Amino acid sequence: MDLMLKLMLAAVLVLMLFRLWPAYKAWQDHGPRAGKGDWAAVVLPLAAVAGLVVVLVLMVR
The pLDDT tens digits for 2-52 are 999 999 999 999 999 999 999 999 999 998 888 888 888 899 999 999 999
Instruction: Please give the model's pTM, rounded to 2 decimal places.
Output: 0.51
Distance CA 43, CA 54 (A): 16
Q: Which of 43, 25, 26 has the alpha carbon at shortest distance from 34?
A: 43
Amino acid at 35: G
Amino acid at 33: R
Distance CA 40, CA 53 (A): 20
Backbone angles phi, psi at 24, to 5 degrees: -60, -45
